[in-house]
Amino acid sequence: MRQYLNWKTYLAIVALFIVGASLYYTSQLAGKLATEERKKVEELAGALKTLIKSNNLQETAFASNIIAQNTTIPLIILDDKGHIADSRNIDTLHTTNPHAVVKEKLEEFKKNHPPIVADYGTGKNYVYYGESYLLTQLRYFPYVQLAIIIVFLLVVLFALSVANRSLQNQVWVGLSKETAHQLGTPLSSIEAWLELLRESDANHDAVTEMQKDLDRLKLVADRFSKVGSAPQLEEQNLVIRLEDIVAYMQRRSPSKVHITLHSEQKEVPVNISGPLFDWVMENLIRNALDAMGGTGKIDVTIINTPQQVWVDVQDNGKGIPGYQVKKVFTPGFTTKKRGWGLGLSLSRRIVEKYHHGSIFVKHSEVGKGTTFRIILRR
């Protein structure tokens, strides 16, 4: 249970408690107000009875005053034959058929409250009443409060999410810049040593291979330096770019793993930052290699559409369980014994922020493999 109990859960629980307490308290107030309103209607029914039966001027004046003071509770008075004798506090000014409005209200009042009977001996009046505007507002107040709390929580969560994302971005940029800076000094030193080896007629093949590795390290440092700054996108042939990546990764893969590029066209122009996009593809292929255990196949497929270019990386490895699919791009999430869980997170940042595209798990099935899809816009 602890994995589900975080600050968001506690915040939601507190909000629910506030709403529940508000609903309970408002319900109690509404109940008391409803009781008071019924008492007022009973007093009004008594006043009607006094007006009809009493000949005492003082009593009738007092009864008239009670009736006149009711300016909030809507009510309808029926005679003993069930005909509408009078109505109070019902808005009929904005209608062409006031009688129909009163009859409609009468049906509503009959459902809500039993009538109060004014028996004056020779006949009876039946007083039906509804809720005052104040009572209606009081009943709806908790729901308004609930809506306000929900909006407040959404704003807080959005603000925290933006702040957290901003902090993550600062960490990414700082880590990348520092890595590029730390790599710079030893790379310069290694390049100088390679020049000395060339001048001393050292093993030419060994120096050539060392130069390739040095160039690769320079490329890695260049990639890190580009994280955090807007890269320059250039139109490139994606087919050629991916052919180079596939060839590079094939040379560094186990002999029983085959990496194949599929494309129906030889030229697929798209605007990308070459070094950063290579980094994304290498991450995806490297993850696929880790998932296959030394044997299997990886298919890299380019799908060219009028508005977009799709790149699918499909392997036949162990697959990703369904409950982990949504977590694979989360910083720090990894299923490996070694690693920081930053590769896919950085890949998403490169594709979405720098290339304005998208990357996601298109399909994954445990024991059968996984397909990642990158979508690049024209």
Coil, helix or strand at residue 313: strand
Provide the domain limits for residue 192. Answer: 138-213
Task: Output the domain CATH number for residue 281.
Answer: 3.30.565.10
Indicate if 77 and 195 belong to the same structural domain: no
Q: Any idea which residue has 């109940």 for tokens?
A: 31
**pLDDT tens sequence across 77-134:** 888 788 887 788 888 777 778 888 888 888 888 888 888 887 776 778 888 888 888 8
Indicate if 148 and 268 belong to the same structural domain: no
Q: Which of 66, 102, 104, 110 is nearest to 84 (CA)?
A: 102
**pLDDT tens sequence across 356-373:** 999 999 999 998 999 999
Let me know if residue 324 belongs to a domain. yes
User: Are 170 and 228 spatial neighbours (Cβ–Cβ below 8 Å)?
Assistant: no
Let me know if residue 312 belongs to a domain. yes
Let me know if residue 221 belongs to a domain. no
Dig out the tokens for 306 from the structure. Answer: 């009028």
Q: Which of 102, 131, 160 represents a domain boundary (last residue)?
A: 131
Q: Which helix (H) or strand (E) holds 303?
A: strand 296-304
Indicate if 261 and 373 belong to the same structural domain: yes
Q: What percent of the chain has pLDDT over 70?
A: 89
Longest dimension (CA), the chain: 134
Calpha distance 259→195 (Å, rounded): 35
Calpha distance 271→10 (Å, rounded): 45
**Number of C-beta neighbours around residue 103 at 10 A:** 14
Dig out the tokens for 336 from the structure. Answer: 């490996």
Q: Which helix (H) or strand (E) holds 358?
A: strand 358-365
- pLDDT score for 211: 84
Phi, psi of 131 (to 5 degrees): -90, 145
> What are the DSSP calls for 54-96, one per residue?
---HHHHHHHHHHHHH--SS-EEEE-TTS-EEEEES---TT-S
Please compute, for residue 287, the number of CA atoms within 13 A of its CA located in the half-sphere on the CB side: 26
Q: Which of 327, 371, 329, 370 is nearest to 346 (CA)?
A: 329
Q: Which of 131, 162, 189 represents a domain boundary (last residue)?
A: 131
Calpha distance 363→187 (Å, rounded): 40
Indicate if 254 and 123 belong to the same structural domain: no
Give the best-scoring range by mean pLDDT among 133-137, 154-158, 239-243.
239-243
Calpha distance 127→329 (Å, rounded): 68
Tell me what the pLDDT averaged over the chain comes to: 82
- pLDDT score for 5: 56
Indicate if 256 and 372 belong to the same structural domain: yes
What is the pTM (predicted TM-score) of this model? 0.52
Task: Kindly tell me the sign of the dihedral angle through the C-alpha atoms of 337, 221, 252, 328.
Answer: positive
**pLDDT tens sequence across 325-356:** 888 888 766 766 655 567 888 889 889 988 99
Calpha distance 236→269 (Å, rounded): 5
Q: Which of 96, 113, 131 represents a domain boundary (last residue)?
A: 131
Let me know if residue 222 belongs to a domain. no
**pLDDT tens sequence across 238-263:** 999 999 999 989 988 998 999 999 99
Task: State in Å, rounded, how far the first CA of the chain is from the last one.
Answer: 46
